[in-house]
Every structure is written in structure tokens, then in C-alpha cells.
Chain A
Amino acid sequence: MSASVLSIAITGLNAAQAGLLTTSHNISNASTAGYSRQSVEQTTQTPFYTGGGFVGQGTQVATITRAYNQFLSQQLTASQATTSSLQTYQTEINQIDNMLSGSTTGLPAALASFYNGLSAVASDPSSISSRQSALSNAQGLVSNFNDLSQQLQEIGTGVNSQIDSTVATINSLAQQIASLNQQIMTAEGATGGAQPDNDLRDQRDELVLQLNQQVGANVVKQTDGSYSVFFGNGQPLVVGNSAYKLTSTPSSDDPTQRQINLLSPNGISSTVPNSLINGGALGGLIQFQTQTLTQAQNTLGLIALGFSTTLNAQQELGQDLTGNMGTAMFNVPTPQVTPNTKNTGTGSVTASIANVSNMTASDYTLTYKGTPGSEWQLTRLSDGTVTNYAAPTAPATTLTTTDGITIDVSGTPAVGDSFKITPTRNGASDLSLALSDPRNIAAASPVTTGSATTNTGTATISTGSLVASFSTPGASPNVPSYSMSYDLTNKQLQVVNTPAQATDMPAGTVVAVTVNGTTTNYTIGTAPATTGIPYTDGMSMTITPPAPSTGSIQVSFTGTPALGDTFTIGQSAANTTDNRNVVAMGAVQTQKVLYGSTASADDAYSQMVSLIGNQANQVTTNYTTQNTLFTQIQSSVQSYSGVNLDEEAANLIQYQQAYQASAQVIQISSKLFDLLTSLGN
């Protein structure tokens, strides 16, 4: 077909019109998220050959392309996943960070008030009002532990509900990507795959970006143009036009946390381990839950346990205003053990605190492996340390005492059954005050000591204290009476065991004497026996009668005794102004009762604040860095794909002028036609 000026002009007119349409499309979508500016690709029409060579036939629109850079797009989605994860983590950790701010409020202040209360009792042990005020302060401290733990639990509940809503968003996005896959295949299939559907592709890329805000996901572009989307270490989310579904359910090993399950289009469900979920809000939430929230909760629990256990132990060595041994001041929560909901056996596991100083803030998983000789496997979750233990031989039930926790097992577990042990999780939340009667603060010590008035030497015996109680809490003290007299010849304190005296030391009693840090044990023989204990000025003596007695007494001596000087030890009456034990309780404030006897409760709290502060600080720094990187990549993408209105204005002028020029050509063609027709006139 031969060309005509008119037909060529029309091609130009069409092309200019396409240019104008595309430009106005760009202008309209200048602020549409994920929109890539489009441009018209014009080519020449196939030229017409004449003897004089090829005569151009005008122009045609080859295609409309979008300014899209796959490399930049991939970088953007990856950066989006990391940034969004850190942003979520930062939002969550800031809640705890803000909760812990202030050194004159909150737990440290409550701890200080508690010890101030005890000190007031030490100043005036007989005053019921100072005892009442000490109990009120104790209640205040307990409430503080409860409240802090409650706030952390609420944060945890918030995290769980955010996980739920994030999972819903992920499912919706996956569904939309799958349906766009279908639409794009249909739309582009109609062109025989020749033309891209730019707008739908932009939408799909934007959805992938939004998906990465929720969870880190990789896209593999299939040969048919569809996107396959995977998360974790290759778990499918979208394949072709079908989407998988995520569900969040209470975790089978820890119902307070969520587990993520993947439901395939044909209804098969599998659990995705938390460790595989990275990036996006979901990754940030899970990371926050496992790395910060649980640790904060456990550390707070450990502090509460360390504090309350030590205080109780000291309180139980004292004597209250009614003359009985002190009873626990706090109800100390026992370690929680949660059987996995998938367990099939009948085994049960219990845990108890053996030594709070050896405890860690970690959780543990105990799994029944059934391997002969090492049936049980204990995993410390904080560092993944795995230890195997042989099952106890009946009737023994104790499996092991590890990290200050005694674990008992019973029943018949099935292989693979597991139990999550969270020794400290409820330490702060379930702590409560056990004492209600102010008279029951055991300010006094049940031990009394004396020197005979006939003594002529300068030696004095200390007022004495209990190392271990001779009776159960709340019962009468049952402190035995002892008498020792000085044997000048051998420079010994003599204790006797005659068969009938009230002050006999029974056979088997161990008298441990410590001089300058060196301890020597003397054991009392079978009656009649006289045992000489070498006397040294400043020596300390611990007297421990044999079982079934449970107690132990500590005294010390200073000065020089004279011949026959006699010292006695016995049980004191209900003494109103004895403050020995409450002074010892007050000393717990600085006692290193946690982390292998390296930290006091206050120390542990400041370590926790420092830890959370550091984590928050690091997360903020990482977020800032990642966000800057994200902004830079976004700028690159915008720079490549974004609409510049000035540019579009220029294009508008350009296409307008092209249109006008082609229109002018048509006019000229018309004039030429008029000229030809006028020739006949």
C-alpha cells in the first residue's frame, strides 16, 4: 500500500494522542503508591519501497512501557522487610523502655521503701505501728512487682493480637497477589503475551512491597509472568493464582505465645517454627517476644523470686512477737511447667526452687527421648545448651537439680513428649504477701546467750543467731540449751555430754570453729564425754546437733576468759525489743542473692534496665540505619520510576506540538487535495 500524506499524518496524530494520554495518565497518578511512570515507545511504520528508495510511512506506537527496575524493586522489598521488622520491634521495646524509666519511681523506690520499713522496725521492734507500716510497704512492693509484670503481660497480649491481625493482613495480601497473577495472565494473554499490563503489574509489585511490611517474603517470577511468593526458608505463600493461608494459634508448648501455621490450598496444616519467621511486622513481633519480652518478664520474675526467697529464709530464722518462729513473709510462686498440648503420654513434670542464687532467667524445654540411660533431654532455651539425664529409679522422682531448679518426673511419658519449664515467668506476677498480722514480723532471734555472773575473765559471748531453724515455721523455736566452761589448763571451752544434763550436747553434734577464715570441726562423743574446744579470741562457733534436729546456732567470742568462766546458749523468751533478725533481714538489701551470688535484687534490676535500654538503643540505631537505607532505595526507585510533573508538563507541550504539527500536515494534505480537485475547474 502506498503512503499518503494524510495517512502518515494520521499515524503522527495517533501517536501524539497516545503520548498525551500517557502523559495525562502519568500526571493523574503522580501520587499513586507504587505507580511507575509510563512512556510511549514509538517506532516508524514499515517504509514503502520505491525505485527511489524507501519512503517512510509514518509512525506507530510500539508499546507503552513503565519505568521499572527489577533490581531496585527487589532491593526495596528486602529493605522494606528489615525496616518494618525493626520499626515494629522498636515500637514494642519502647513500651518497656518507657516503663523502666526513672530511678526514683517504680520498683527501685518500692524496694527502698520496703527496707526503710524494716529499718524502722529495727529501730523500734516493739512498735506495732512501725511493723504495720513495714507490712504496708511490703504490700506496696508486691503490688509493684505484680503491676510491672502485669504491664509486661499486657504488652505480650498486645503482641499476640498484633500477630493475629498481621497474619490476617498477610492472608489478604497473598490472596490479592494470587488474584492479580490471574488478572495479569488473562489481560496479557489477550495480547498474546505481547504487551505488558503496566498498571496491574505496578499494583502487584506494590502488594509485594506491602506484604514485606508484614513479613519478609521473596518473589520468584515465573516464566508465565506470575509471581510465586515464599517466606521463611521457602514456605510458599502464593503459587500462581492460588494463595496459601497462615493461621496464628496458641503455641502448643507455651499457650501464652502464638505459633504460626501454614495451611495449603488443599487444607494441609503445618507449623512454621518462630525461628524461621524473619522480617516485616511479624518478624519484629516474634523477635521482640522471644528476645526481649520473655527475658524482661523472666528477669523481673527472677528478681522477685530472689528477693522473696531470701527474705523468707531470714524471716523463718527469727522469732515473732508471739514467741513463735517466723513464717514466710511472701508466698513465693512455684516454677511453672506446661506440658505440650501434643503430648500423648501420661508423664507429668514438676519443678521447684532449690537455690535461687543459681537460677537463670531462661526458660527450659524437657523432652522425653526414651533413650536408655539418658531418657530425658533438657534444653536451656537462652543458649540452647542440651543436657541428657537418666530417668530416676522409682521410688525416686527427682530427675536433676540444674540451674537452681529441682525437676521431678512421674507417670509414663511417650517418646517425643515435651514440657516447657518457665521457672521465673510468674515470679513477679504471682508473688503475694503472706503476712497480715504485724506481730508476725520475726524481728527477734530465738537464741539467747549469757555469761555467768561469777565469770571473772574479760571474755564475752556474742548475742548469737540461728543458722538453721530447730522447728518448723510458726512453731515454738525449740532452741536447745548448752553450757560451756573454760578450762584454763588446756585453754579450751569444755562441753560435756553426760547422760542426763539439760545442757548436754548430744553425741554427733558438730561444733565448727572458725578462726581467721579457717574452720575446724569438733564432734561430740557418746556420753559420758567431755570435749574441749580450743579457745581463740574472736573465734566464731557454729553448733549443729545431729539429725533429727534441723537447727544450727552461731555465736562468737571475744576477750580472754578466766578459769571456770561459763557461757550459756539457749532459747530466748518472746522478746519485744530484740531486733537481731530484722537487722539481718535489712541486710538482704545489699546481699548478693542472684546470678551465682553476684548481684543484689537492686543490682539485678539495674542490670535489667541496662539490658533493655541497650537493646532498645541498638534497635533504634538499627532502625535508623535501615530506615535511611530504605529511604535511599526509595529515592532511587522514585528517581527511576516516579513522576516529575515538570517533565510531564514538558511532555505535554511536546505531544501537543506534535499533535498540532500532524494536524497541520492533515490541513496541508487537504489543501493539496483541494488543489488537485481545483485543477479540474
Chain B
Amino acid sequence: MSSMRVSTAMIYDTGVATMQQQTANLLKLQEQLSTQQSMLSPSDNPVAAAQALQVTQANNINTQYATNQNYADDALGLSESTLDSAGTLLQSMYQSLVHLGNGSLTDQDRQSIVTSLTAGFNQLMGYANQQDGLGNYLFAGYRGDTQPFTGSITNGVTYQGDDGVRTLAVSPTRNIQTSDSGSDIFMSVPDTSVPFQANATGTNTGDAVMYGQTITNPAAWSATSNTQTYNVSFDNPSTATAPALSYTITDYQGNTVNTGTYTPAVVTLPDATTMNLKGTPNLGDSYLSANGKYKVVFDDPSSAAAGSYSYTIYDATTGDPESGFQNLSYTPATIALPNGAQVNMAGTPAPGDSFAIQPSGTVSVFSVLSSIVAATQQPYATADTQTKNAYNQQLASAISDVQSAMNNILTYRASIGARQQELSSLQSANTTRGIAYQSTLDRLQNVDMAKTISDFTQTQVSLQAAQLSFTKITSLSLFNYLSS
């Protein structure tokens, strides 16, 4: 085996090249150690570099979601606490209204309740017009710079906002709702004062009214198959024998579902004139005839059959009962509706008049309150029976609607609470994801200290060895021995 011929230049070149390589390695390790980064440029590990960018992006977005979650949580928290206060306020107003039902209150007592209800109304306006820390109205929809509820208890309240709801991206697949429309919360309270609406059509020419909507079979009435939408129209011409009038009930599609006859319930007075009673009499109610001659008093509960009321007619001037008009029976006319409901009717419809039966709609809590406050301001103790009855009925409706408003607020609070709960679970998922991203980034980018330090030491030793051997080899020369 012949050994390779070595030129002197090779000894130097190879030695220097080796030391340069070792120095470069050492420098890179030093850089890795000082920056704590394993990848100094993408070419060190292109796949990991791209992955690190993707993970960093995901992590940035994740952080963004966390910021949005906190913001959403704050916004929902403010809505929730405002609605909580509004609910508490409505609860106390509800109690005041219930208190008003106590017939023994003096007008002065009632006036002080009015004062407290008015204050409550204004406070409720304040809650509905609540602003966030930045001056935006919470319940104005998208019109955050516009005061959403304007007006007063005397002039009525109108909504200036819109139905907009803000959302924020809080996870890759979820935009959470951070605001609720004030219109839905305060202006669209389900009207529970009547189980359904029964309204005379605007074109009616008769004086008949429908009242006293009653559900006789709640299951059938509230079944989804029941549209609660009917039309009661009086036939023209009537096929019934007067004074009865025939009518036809059609459903929303115009199909006839029922027919019947209606006989107006009247009180025949001793002078042979008749009197219409609109409404259901209570025990003790008294009605003055149109000509002022007679007084009809419902004074005996025991003698009437169920659904009927007994009355006696008195001479209005003398106060003596009219003979032959004592202990008579009055039965309000009732029209049965399909699917377990009925409605009372009074007055005389003209042929062709019709009445629309519809599901109950919505009311504004402000209008309910302003109406009842206005009504309560009227004298009560001295009012006649009809006025009192009307007032009591209105009070009952108001109590029912205020309760409905409280329920409505509770529904929104529950919805907000559910969103907050969702946020809290998203927040914890977010934190977990953030930790996972960070650990992936650590794995991709961070330097393995133990290994790198070990590599550094090893390279250092190699370089020292190369330096030492280089000086030894280059000091060897035959010329050293060529002495003169």
C-alpha cells in the first residue's frame, strides 16, 4: 500500500479548514445558547420553522379570543347586573300594584303609591338607558350613541334603538352575542293580561264587543296545532230568528269550523226598554239606566245558576224595588270557540260585522305602567261601579303584564347567564389550548440546554485538539535538521 503524497500547503490548508469548521460550529452553538433558540434561521429546520409560524399564528388568534372573551364577559356582566336591578325594581312595583287592589285604600294612600310607582318608572327608564363605561347605551341595539328610551310617564315611551345584537368572535366556531336589544327586553313583553285577543274588526258598524276571554281546555288551546286564530263573522243576512243572530267561525284559512247563534244578553227594564251590560257583573255592582229611572243591582248571589247572576231593579229615585223585577237572572252571552276557549259578547253586531280571534301579542312595560299610574290617579273611592270595575280589571291586567315583564327579564338574564357560562368554559379551553401551543412552540424552537452545552463542550475540546495538533505537525520539518 502506497501512502498518499502530502504537499506542505495541504498540511496548512487542511488544518486551517478543520479549525475554521470547528470554530463555525462553536459559534453556532454559542448563538443557540445565548438566544435559547434552536432555529436561528428557517433553513436550520424548514418544516419546524413553518410549523412554528402556524402555531404562533394560532396562538395569536387564541390570545385574541381570550381578549374577546374577557370583553364579552364584562359586557354581559354589566347587562346582567342592570337587568338584575331592573327585575328587583319591577318586583317592588309589582307589590305596589298588588297593594292597590286593596279596596280599603284611601285616595291619599293610592296617591302615595302613585308617587312611588312614578319614581320606579323613572328608575326603570334609567336602567333601560344604562350606559357602559365608554358611554354607549347597553340596550340600544346598534345605536349605542342614541338614548334608546325617550319620553315620560305622561307622554309615553318610545324606543329609538334598533333590534341589532353585537357579537364577538370568542372561538374558531363561535361568535357570542354580547348585547341584547332593549326593544325585546322592555318593549315586547308578552301580554298575559288576556289569554288571547278578541277584537272587533275596524269596519264593524254594530256596537257589539267581545270580552272575558276564557280558556276552558288549556291543553287543546295551547296545542301547536291550534293557531289561536279565528274569525267570528255575523251572517248577512242572519239565518236565526231575531233577536238571535247567526254567526260563522272560520279558521285562518277561511274554512268554516263552527256556526252558532248569538242572543245579546239584556236586562229588560220595567218601562220595556232594554239595557246592555258590557262585562261580567260582580256581587253588589249596580248600574243606572240610561234614562236615570232605574238602578239594576246584582245583590243576590245565591239564587242564580252557575254562569248566571241574579239582580233586582230598583226605582232610582225612591230606591224601592220594582215589583216583578226582583231576583231575576242575568246570563252573559258566550260564544264558544274551537279548541277549548270561549269569549263573552255584549251589544248588537250589525250583519257582516266580524271579530278577530288572535294569540295575545306583546306590550311595552312602560305603557302598562304609565296607563295604570294614570288610571290610579283618578278618584276611586267615589267612583261608580262601572268605573271601579274597569279600573280593577285594568289593575289585574297591569299586574299580570308586570309579572310577564319580570319573567321576560328573567328569560334574558338566563340567556345572558348561559352565555357567561359558555364563556367561562371557552376561557378554560382557551387557556388549555394556549398552553398546548406554547409547549409546541417550545419544542419547535427552544434549545435543548443539556444537549447543546454538551455539544459545545465537545466541539470546544475538538477545536483545542485541532489547534494543538496543528502546531505540532507544522513544527515538523526536515529543514530543522539541516544545520550548517
**Does the CB pair B169–A586 fall under 8 Å?**
yes
Q: Which residues from 216 to 243 on chain B have a C-beta closer than 8 Å to any C-beta of chain A?
A: 227-229
Task: Give per-residue flags for B21-40: 1 if the beta carbon is below 8 A from chain A beta carbons, else 0.
Answer: 00000000000000000011
Does A573 sit at the interface, judged by CB under 8 A? yes
Taking CB atoms, residues of chain A closer than 8 Å to B51 are 606
Assess whether B168 is interfacial by the CB under 8 Å rule.
Answer: yes
**Would B252 and A605 count as touching, CB distance under 8 A?**
no
Give min CB distance, B233 to chain A, whole Å: 17
Q: Are B71 and A97 in contact (CB under 8 A)?
A: no
| A100 contacts B41, C-beta separation under 8 Å | yes
Q: Indicate if B244 sits at the interface (CB-CB under 8 A).
A: no
**Interchain nearest-CB distance for B465 vs A (Å):** 20
- Docked pose: A640 CA to B163 CA in angstroms: 92
Bound Cα distance from A610 to B5, whole angstroms: 46
Chain A contacts for B122, CB-based, 8 A? none
Residues of chain A within 8 A of B55, CB atoms compared: 103
Q: Which one, A448, A586, A652, contacts B162 given CB within 8 A?
A: A448
Q: Closest Cβ of chain A: how far from B147's Cβ, in Å?
A: 12
8 Å CB interface, A109-125 against B: 111-112, 115-116, 119, 122-125
Stretch at the interface among A2-10, A368-376, A405-413, A613-621: A613-621
When distances are taken between beta carbons in the complex, the residues of chain A under 8 Å from B50 are 606-607, 609-610, 613
The answer to whether A649 and B57 have CB atoms under 8 Å apart is: no
Which residues of the partner chain A approach B99 to less than 8 Å between Cβ atoms?
Answer: none
B442-484, CB < 8 A from A: 445, 477-479, 482
Q: Counting CB contacts under 8 A, is A45 at the interface?
A: no
- Quick one: CB contact mask for B135-153 with A, threshold 8 Å, 1 for yes? 1110011111110000000
A237 CB → nearest B CB, Å? 29
Tell me whether B362 and A575 are in contact (CB under 8 A). Answer: no
Contact between chains at A578 and B164 (CB < 8 Å): yes
Q: In whole angstroms, how far apart are the Cα atoms of A641 and B57 in the complex?
A: 58
Write out the residue numbers on chain B whose beta carbons fall within 8 Å of the beta carbon of A616. 41-43, 46
- Interface contact B362-A454, CB-CB below 8 Å: yes
Check if B8 sits within 8 Å of A645, measured CB to CB: yes
CB neighbours (8 Å) of A613 from chain B are 41-46, 49-50
* A649 engages B482 (CB within 8 Å): yes
B194 contacts A by Cβ under 8 Å:
no
The residue from A98, A127, A638, A640 contacting B41, defined by CB atoms under 8 A apart: A98
Verify if B253 is at the interface (C-beta below 8 Å from A). Answer: yes
B192 to A: closest C-beta gap in Å: 13
Q: How far is the CB of B185 from chain A (nearest CB, A)?
A: 13
Q: Are B9 and A94 in contact (CB under 8 A)?
A: no
What chain B residues lie within 8 Å of A605 (beta carbons)?
Answer: 53
Docked-complex contact A115 and B64, CB < 8 angstroms: yes
B6 close to A112 (CB less than 8 A): no
CB distance from B179 to the nearest CB of A (A): 7
Residue in B7, B162, B445 whose beta carbon sits within 8 Å of that of A450 in the complex: B162
Main DSSP-derived SS at the A contact region: helix
Q: What residue in chain A is nearest B482 (Cβ atoms)?
A: A649
Task: Find out whether the CB atom of A577 lies under 8 angstroms from the CB atom of B41.
Answer: no
Contacting residues, chain B, for A625 (C-beta < 8 A): none
Contacts A589-B61, A642-B10, A650-B478 hold; do A94 and B143 have CB atoms under 8 A apart? Answer: no
Residue numbers in A under 8 Å from B167 (CB-CB): 579-580, 583
For A147, the chain B residues whose CB sits under 8 A away are none
B359 located at the interface, meaning its Cβ lies under 8 Å from any Cβ of chain A in the complex: yes
Taking CB atoms, residues of chain B closer than 8 Å to A583 are 167-169, 175
Does the CB pair B10–A635 fall under 8 Å?
yes
A332: Cβ under 8 A from any B Cβ: no
Contact A642 B7 (CB under 8 A): yes
Given A30-B8, A94-B43, A590-B61, the answer on whether A108 and B136 have CB atoms closer than 8 Å is no
A601 nearest in chain B by CB position: B57
**Do B253 and A489 touch (CB < 8 A)?**
yes
Chain A hits for B52, CB < 8 A: 103
Are the CB atoms of A644 and B142 closer together than 8 Å? no
Q: Do A642 and B9 touch across chains, with their CB atoms under 8 A apart?
A: yes
Whether B134 is near chain A, meaning CB under 8 Å from some CB there, is yes
Interface status of B1 (Cβ within 8 A of chain A): no
| Range, interface on chain A | 35 or more
- In Å, the complex CA distance between A634 and B6 comes to 12
Bound form: Cα–Cα A607–B42 in Å:
11
In the complex, the chain A residue whose C-beta lies closest to that of B167 is A583
- Chain B residues with CB under 8 Å of A112's CB are 57, 60, 64
**B42 and A579 contacting across the interface, CB-CB below 8 Å:** no
A37 partner residues in chain B, CB cutoff 8 A: 7
Tell me the complex Cα distance, A613–B41, Å.
Answer: 8
Contact in complex: B41, A124 (CB < 8 Å): no
A590 CA to B62 CA, complexed, in Å: 12
Q: Which residue of B lies closest to A129 (CB)?
A: B134
> By CB atoms of chain A within 10 A, which of B43, B136, B165 has the most?
B43
CB pair A104 B164 closer than 8 Å: no
How distant is the Cα of A404 from the Cα of B155 in the complex, in angstroms? 61
Instruction: Report the separation of the CA atoms of residues A362 and B41 in the bound assembly, to the nearest whole angstrom.
Output: 25
Expressed in whole angstroms, the Cα–Cα distance for A119 and B64 within the complex equals 8
A289 to B14, CA, bound (A): 33
Mark out the residues of chain A between 533 and 573 whose CB falls within 8 Å of any chain B CB in the assembled complex.
562-563, 572-573
| Chain B residues within an 8 Å CB radius of A642 | 7-10
Which of A104, A108, A123 has the most B CB atoms < 10 Å from its CB? A123
Please tell me which one of the listed residues B41, B57, B162, B361 contacts residue A575 in the complex, with CB atoms under 8 A apart: B162
Q: How many Å lie between the Cα of A451 and that of B163 in the bound state?
A: 8
Q: Give Cα A643–Cα B361 distance, bound, in whole angstroms.
A: 109
Q: Is A444 engaged at the interface, CB distance under 8 Å to the other chain?
A: yes
Q: Bound state CA distance, A286 and B163, in angstroms?
A: 63
Could you tell me if A123 and B61 are in contact, using CB atoms closer than 8 angstroms?
A: no
Query: What CA separation (Å) do A653 and B229 show in the bound complex?
Result: 129
Please indicate the chain A residues that have their CB under 8 angstroms from the CB of B45 in the complex: 613
Whether the pair B54, A603 counts as a contact (CB closer than 8 A) is yes
Q: List chain B residues, Cβ under 8 A from A653.
A: 482
- Interfacial residues of chain B within 140-195, with CB under 8 A of chain A in the complex: 140-146, 162-169, 172, 175, 179, 183, 187-188
A357 proximity list for chain B (CB < 8 A): none
A127, B4: Cβ atoms closer than 8 Å: no
Q: Which residue of A is nearest B53, CB measured?
A: A606
| A360-B409 Cα distance, complex, nearest whole Å | 55
For residue B67, CB closer than 8 A to chain A, the reply is yes
Complex Cα–Cα for A641 and B6 (A): 10
Residues of B within 8 A of A387 (CB): none
Contact A126 B7 (CB under 8 A): no
Residue of B whose beta carbon sits closest to that of A118: B64
Which chain A residues border B162 with CB–CB below 8 Å? 448, 450, 572-573, 575
Q: What residues on A are CB-neighbors of B229 within 8 Å?
A: 488, 562-563
Q: Given that A100-B42, A609-B53 are contacting pairs, would A576 and B145 also be in contact in the complex, using a CB cutoff of 8 Å?
A: yes
Contact A577 B478 (CB under 8 A): no
Whether, in the assembled complex, A646 has its beta carbon less than 8 Å from a beta carbon of chain B, the answer is yes
A639 within 8 A of B: yes
Taking the closest CB of chain B, its distance from the CB of A152, in whole angstroms, is: 15
B9 touches A30 (CB 8 A): yes
Once the chains bind, are A644 and B8 in contact (CB under 8 Å)?
Answer: yes
A599 to chain B, nearest CB (A): 11
CA distance A127 to B252 in the complex (A): 50
**A223–B363 Cα gap in the complex (Å)?**
112
Q: Which residues of A contact B306 (CB under 8 A)?
A: none
B377: Cβ under 8 A from any A Cβ? no
Asked if B142 and A575 make an inter-chain contact with CB atoms under 8 angstroms apart, the answer reads yes
Evaluate contact between B40 and A587: CB separation under 8 angstroms. no
A/B interface sample: 13 pairs, CB < 8 A: A37-B7, A94-B41, A100-B42, A103-B445, A119-B169, A124-B136, A562-B229, A606-B50, A610-B47, A613-B45, A614-B43, A614-B46, A638-B9
User: Chain B residues in contact with chain A, CB under 8 A?
Assistant: 4-10, 13-14, 17, 39-47, 49-57, 60-61, 64, 67-68, 71, 134-137, 140-146, 162-169, 172, 175, 179, 183, 187-188, 227-229, 252-253, 358-362, 441, 445, 477-479, 482
Q: Taking A103-B49, A122-B68, A126-B145 as given, write out 5 further A-B residue pairs in contact, using a Cβ cutoff of 8 Å, ordered by the A residue number.
A: A112-B64, A602-B53, A602-B54, A605-B53, A644-B7
8 A-B pairs with least C-beta separation: A642-B7, A577-B144, A613-B42, A613-B46, A616-B43, A610-B50, A578-B142, A575-B142
